[in-house]
Amino acid sequence: MGDAASGRGHVVYPPRSAEDIFKDYRARRSAILRALTHDVEDFYAQCDPDKENLCLYGYANEAWEVALPAEEVPTELPEPALGINFARDGMNRRDWLALVAVHSDSWLLSVAFYYAARLNRNDRKRLFGMINELQTVFEVVSGARQQQSKERSSMDNGGRSKPAKIENNGKDTDEAYGEDDSDHGETLCGTCGGIYSADEFWIGCDMCERWYHGKCVKITPAKAESIKHYKCPSCSSKRARQ
């Protein structure tokens, strides 16, 4: 099944701290998000209803795979929803993707708290707090659909908004327009885990230096121009608690 399969059910050193479990969760989530957004055409094609029960796996190496469920009983890790391919042609496509997203959220949490079973109460609470700072897969997939709808509407009206992003090193917005994707090719949104694209507006936090989609933190290009030092929601909440 290629390199993607190497991440499945083959955890030699399972994560044991809340931070390591969160990193595992975030990587698996990024893989699922890629399947349901950037690679959605490939994912859709692989979910052939004529095949046997199929599952969507997200791995710690951020690869995803549509595959048959594990044969061993009991399985080494909780298994994702079984038979996602069977409903593909019987539902509206966006509704089917939303259903897969909801089941994927459930699976991601089950894997995270499988690893977290040996944590104490405070560490489990801290883990859930970190997870809860991120959007669910369902929220991201739904938001992506809304954004695509807005873009299509803009194109239909004969106009297109200019892509923008705000650097946290003091560059003006107009200077940032010309930057190349290669400078941020590995940058992930601190909220949704999406990969950087020059076609979208991004903003960087001056405190933690993480990057965010403007839409994920409710900052528009116009609003960003009036912000001298941007603090993301996470840093703002930490400041308030101190």
* pLDDT at residue 174 is higher than 50: no
Band of pLDDT at residue 151, cut at 50, 70 and 90: low
- Domain ranges within the chain, ordered by starting residue: 18-147, 186-241
Q: What percent of the chain clears pLDDT 70, i.e. is strictly above it?
A: 75
Q: What is the pLDDT of residue 242?
A: 52
E strands, the chain, where? 55-58, 64-67, 165-166, 202-204, 211-213
Q: What is the pLDDT of residue 181?
A: 46
| Distance from C-alpha of 222 to C-alpha of 200, rounded to nearest angstrom | 14
DSSP 5: G
Kindly state the average pLDDT of the residues 166-194: 54
Burial profile 135-157: b = 16 or more Cβ within 10 angstroms, e = fewer: bbbbebbbbbeeeeeeeeeeeee
According to DSSP, the residues that pair with 211 across neighbouring strands are 189, 204
Yes or no: say if 55 and 82 are a contact pair by the CB < 8 Å rule. yes
With vertex at residue 67, the alpha carbon angle to CA 65 and CA 70, rounded to the nearest 5 degrees, is 115
Kindly state the average pLDDT of the residues 163-167: 41
Amino acid in the structure at residue 86? F
Kindly state the average pLDDT of the residues 107-130: 94
In terms of pTM, does the model score above 0.85?
no
Digit-coded pLDDT (tens) for 194-208: 777 777 888 888 888
| Distance from C-alpha of 60 to C-alpha of 172, rounded to nearest angstrom | 37
Band of pLDDT at residue 240, cut at 50, 70 and 90: low
Q: What is the pLDDT of residue 215?
A: 86
Digit-coded pLDDT (tens) for 42-82: 999 999 999 999 999 999 999 999 999 988 878 889 999 99
Closest alpha carbon to 54 in 24, 79, 90: 79
What is the residue-averaged pLDDT of the chain? Answer: 79
| Distance from C-alpha of 129 to C-alpha of 131, rounded to nearest angstrom | 5
Residue 16 tokens, joined: 């044991």
Kindly state the average pLDDT of the residues 152-162: 45
| Distance from C-alpha of 219 to C-alpha of 98, rounded to nearest angstrom | 25
* pLDDT at residue 155 is higher than 70: no
Digit-coded pLDDT (tens) for 93-112: 989 999 999 999 999 999 99
Q: What share of residues in the chain are helix, strand, coil (percent, to 5)?
A: 45, 10, 45
The correct CATH number of 186-241 out of 3.30.1330.60, 3.30.40.10, 3.40.640.10, 3.40.50.720 is: 3.30.40.10
Digit-coded pLDDT (tens) for 132-148: 999 999 999 887 445 55
| Distance from C-alpha of 164 to C-alpha of 149, rounded to nearest angstrom | 19
* pLDDT at residue 221 is higher than 70: yes
Comparing 4-13, 34-43, 230-239, which segment has the lowest mean pLDDT?
4-13
